[in-house]
Structure 1
């Protein structure tokens, strides 16, 4: 008999029906042998059902078993199609570890203003000892990094920064007041 798991009710029901079919066939053979006057020297397993099996019940169990096997095959085929379709149409899963690093990174500074003409950002430094001239910080918005900038000059908790144009998505510099500056993960 096949190994079945409790997680698959169709397979469990098929296994139960196969067991019942074997019991019915065994009882039918034993009944035919007794009608012919023969006795079996082997004892059959005790039958949990007290009624005598008949051919109609056996045929009904066989038909139900065939129906369930066809249903199981159909479900497995549909599941295979769904999985293949999902794999074909899905984009690769994002790197969870990197996403977690971005989400949990400490905020080093925040954008206070941005001059689009001169391409200069004013920043408020929250970790005064950790932000220095020449550092490259990532601009975090929501849970992703939209670009990077280089710290130009700092004075206590204020400073200016220059965006690194090639690091922005789509090549367009989109810096807004309130964007967080973090140490970008490697």
Structure 2
């Protein structure tokens, strides 16, 4: 048995009943083939013993069947819960992706100096971008990181990447990346 079955009380009960079923079937076979033990038992006693074993075997089989049905119902309910949980997650992700896609473009990356970790930006919404603002870097339908706006001169500016905001820790900024106000 696996460790997962050992911790499951239903599985333990099923295993116990299957073991008892095997014992009863073995006893029935022994009783019909040979005389049990060295002591003499009358045919009437043997028949009564076999009948008792048969009745107990039927009871164990019925209990085992009921437990299996109960386990199947529980597994079906668990599968439904898991399917529902998996089914709702992409909807949340789709909503966030659509928010990111529809976010207003504030600026665009014109160049990036990987040595000094400074990005040159061209501001699309003059007056809406100010020194100290934190903008998200949009690529496709996701935000790959964030920048803090530094100095601004007319429609040009300089921005510094926020180090902990990039996936995997690698700062990957490319000319043409779009800067947006990141959704909450």
1:36-91 Cα shifts (integer Å, max 9, x gaps):
xxxxxxxxxxxxxxxxxxxxxxxxxxxxxxxxxxxxxxxxx9xx59x569749959
- Partners of 2:81 and 2:96 in 1: how far apart? 27
Partner of 2:134: 136
Unaligned runs of 5+ in 1: 1-76
- Are residues 1:115 and 2:120 paired? no
Partner of 1:147: 145
Deviation at 1:97, TM superposition (A): 3.0
User: Secondary structure in 2 aligned to 1:100?
Assistant: helix
- Partners of 2:147 and 2:87 in 1: how far apart? 29
Matches within 5 A, 1:2-81: none
| Runs of 4+ residues deviating >6 angstroms | none
Partner of 2:168: 170
**For the aligned residues, what is the CA RMSD?**
3.0
- Partners of 1:164 and 1:91 in 2: how far apart? 33
- Flag the structure with higher helix content: 2
1:108-134 Cα shifts (integer Å, max 9, x gaps):
000011000000000010001101110
User: Secondary structure in 1 aligned to 2:137?
Assistant: strand
1:12-58 Cα shifts (integer Å, max 9, x gaps):
xxxxxxxxxxxxxxxxxxxxxxxxxxxxxxxxxxxxxxxxxxxxxxx
User: Secondary structure in 2 aligned to 1:138?
Assistant: strand
Deviation at 1:103, TM superposition (A): 1.1
- Are residues 1:127 and 2:120 paired? no
User: What TM-score do you get using the length of structure 1 for normalisation?
Assistant: 0.52
Partner of 1:93: 89
- Partners of 1:98 and 1:87 in 2: how far apart? 21
Deviation at 1:176, TM superposition (A): 0.5
Unaligned runs of 5+ in 2: 1-72
Counterpart pick for 2:103 among 105, 108, 128: 105
Deviation at 1:101, TM superposition (A): 1.4
- Partners of 2:114 and 2:182 in 1: how far apart? 23
